[in-house]
Amino acid sequence: MYKIFFSPENKEIEIDSETDLYHAAINAGIYLTSGCGGEGNCGRCEVIIKKGKFRTHPSRFISEKEKKEGYVLACQTYAETNLEVFVPPESGIKKWKLIKDGIYTPEEPLRDWLFSPLVRKIYLELPLPTLVDHLPDWERIVRELRNKGENFLERGDYLKITLPQLQKLAQFLRSNHWKLTLSLTESGEIIDYQAGNTTDKFYGLALDIGTTTVALTLIDLKKNEVLEAKATYNQQMAFGDDVISRIIYSENDPQGLENLTRAVRETVNQLISELVKEKGIESKDILTLVVAGNTTMNHLFLSLPVSYIRKEPYLPTANFLPNLTAKELGLKIHPRAIVSFCPNVSSYVGGDITAGILASGMNEKEELSLLIDLGTNGEIVLGNKDFLVSSACSAGPAFEGVGIKSGIRATEGAIENIQVSSDGKKVKYVTIGNKPPTGICGSGLVTAIAELFKDGYLNREGKFVSESLPLRGDYLRGDYLIRESEEGKEFLLVPAEETIQKKDIVLTEGDISTLIRSKGAIYLGASVLLEEMGYKFSDLKKIYLAGMFGTYLDIEKAIMIGLLPDLEKEKFVFLGNSAITGARMCLLYEEAREKIKEIAKKTTYLELSVNPKFMNEYSATLFLPHTNIDLFPSVKKLPNI
pLDDT of residue 101: 38
**What is the per-residue pLDDT across 471-511, written as a single tens digit (0 to 9) for each?**
444 443 345 577 777 677 888 899 888 988 788 899 999 99
> Which segment of 43-47, 295-299, 558-562 scores lowest on mean pLDDT?
43-47
- Residue 442 near residue 507 (C-beta atoms within 8 A): no
- Residue 526 near residue 379 (C-beta atoms within 8 A): no
Q: What is the DSSP letter of 487?
A: T
Mean pLDDT, to the nearest integer, of 587-602?
96
> Which segment of 278-292, 489-503, 514-528 scores lowest on mean pLDDT?
489-503
Q: How confident is the model at residue 610 (pLDDT cuts 50, 70, 90)?
A: confident
pLDDT of residue 471: 47
> What's the CA gap between 46 and 338, in Å, rounded?
40
**Is residue 555's pLDDT more than 60?**
yes
> What's the CA gap between 176 and 124, in Å, rounded?
12
Residue bearing the bigger pLDDT, 610 or 473: 610
Residue bearing the bigger pLDDT, 349 or 61: 349
Chain length of the chain: 641
Cα dihedral 332, 333, 338, 344 sign: negative
Q: How confident is the model at residue 58 (pLDDT cuts 50, 70, 90)?
A: confident
> What's the CA gap between 391 and 371, in Å, rounded?
11
What secondary structure does DSSP assign to 152-187, as a single string? Answer: HHHTT---B--HHHHHHHHHHHHHTTTEEEEEEETT
> Which segment of 377-386, 540-549, 565-574 scores lowest on mean pLDDT?
540-549
Strand ordering across the sheet containing 439-440: 427-431, 414-420, 439-440
Q: Which of 21, 19, 15 is nearest to 3 (CA)?
A: 15
Residue bearing the bigger pLDDT, 329 or 432: 329
- Residue 492 near residue 475 (C-beta atoms within 8 A): yes
pLDDT of residue 129: 94
Q: Cis link prior to 8 (omega < 30° from 0)?
A: yes
SS3 of the chain: helix, strand, coil, percent, to 5: 35, 25, 40
- Residue 232 near residue 95 (C-beta atoms within 8 A): yes
Q: How many CB atoms lie within 10 A of CB 421?
A: 11
Mean pLDDT, to the nearest integer, of 121-149?
92
**What is the per-residue pLDDT across 157-195, written as a single tens digit (0 to 9) for each?**
678 999 999 999 999 999 999 999 999 998 889 999 999
Domains present along the chain, CATH in parentheses? 2-92 (3.10.20.30), 119-195 (3.10.20.880), 203-341 (3.30.420.480), 360-397+515-636 (3.30.420), 407-500 (no CATH)
- Residue 34 near residue 240 (C-beta atoms within 8 A): yes
Q: How many CA atoms are closer than 13 Å to the CA of 200, on its beta-carbon side?
A: 2
pLDDT of residue 472: 44
Mean pLDDT, to the nearest integer, of 69-76?
91
pLDDT of residue 354: 98
pLDDT of residue 105: 44
Mean pLDDT, to the nearest integer, of 191-214?
95
> What's the CA gap between 350 and 365, in Å, rounded?
22
Q: Cis link prior to 470 (omega < 30° from 0)?
A: no
Which stretch of DSSP H or E encloses residue 85? Answer: strand 83-86
Mean pLDDT, to the nearest integer, of 564-580?
93
Which stretch of DSSP H or E encloses residue 250? Answer: helix 243-252
**What is the per-residue pLDDT across 84-107, written as a single tens digit (0 to 9) for each?**
999 987 777 755 444 443 344 444
Most confident segment among 333-342, 417-426, 617-626: 333-342
Mean pLDDT, to the nearest integer, of 559-563?
96
**Is residue 410's pLDDT more than 50?**
yes
pLDDT of residue 502: 82
> What's the CA gap between 620 and 454, in Å, rounded?
20
**Could you tell me which residues are beta bridge partners of residue 505?**
494
Q: How confident is the model at residue 4 (pLDDT cuts 50, 70, 90)?
A: very high
Q: How many CA atoms are closer than 13 Å to the CA of 567, on its beta-carbon side?
A: 18
pLDDT of residue 616: 86
Burial class (CB in 10 A: 0-12, 13-18, 19+), 568: exposed
**Is residue 223's pLDDT more than 80?**
yes
> What's the CA gap between 161 and 191, in Å, rounded?
8
**Is residue 403's pLDDT more than 70?**
yes
Whole-number mean pLDDT of the chain?
Answer: 88
pLDDT of residue 41: 78
- Residue 551 near residue 594 (C-beta atoms within 8 A): no
Q: Which of 96, 10, 85 is nearest to 52 (CA)?
A: 85
> Which segment of 4-8, 110-114, 242-246 scores lowest on mean pLDDT?
110-114
- Residue 85 near residue 6 (C-beta atoms within 8 A): yes
Whole-model pTM: value is 0.88
* 3 state DSSP class of 21: helix
Mean pLDDT, to the nearest integer, of 314-326?
96
**Is residue 71's pLDDT more than 50?**
yes
**Is residue 547's pLDDT more than 90?**
no
Query: Which residues, 6+ apart, have CB-to-CB distance to 495 below 8 Å?
Result: 475, 477, 504
> What's the CA gap between 505 and 394, in Å, rounded?
27
Amino acid at 89: P
pLDDT of residue 95: 52
**What is the per-residue pLDDT across 387-402, written as a single tens digit (0 to 9) for each?**
999 999 888 778 877 7
Q: How confident is the model at residue 416 (pLDDT cuts 50, 70, 90)?
A: confident
pLDDT of residue 151: 65
Burial class (CB in 10 A: 0-12, 13-18, 19+), 89: exposed
Mean pLDDT, to the nearest integer, of 59-76?
86
Residue bearing the bigger pLDDT, 147 or 149: 147
Q: Would strands 388-392 and 379-383 be described as parallel, antiparallel, or unpaired?
A: antiparallel
Amino acid at 316: P
pLDDT of residue 419: 84
Q: How confident is the model at residue 281 (pLDDT cuts 50, 70, 90)?
A: very high
pLDDT of residue 102: 38
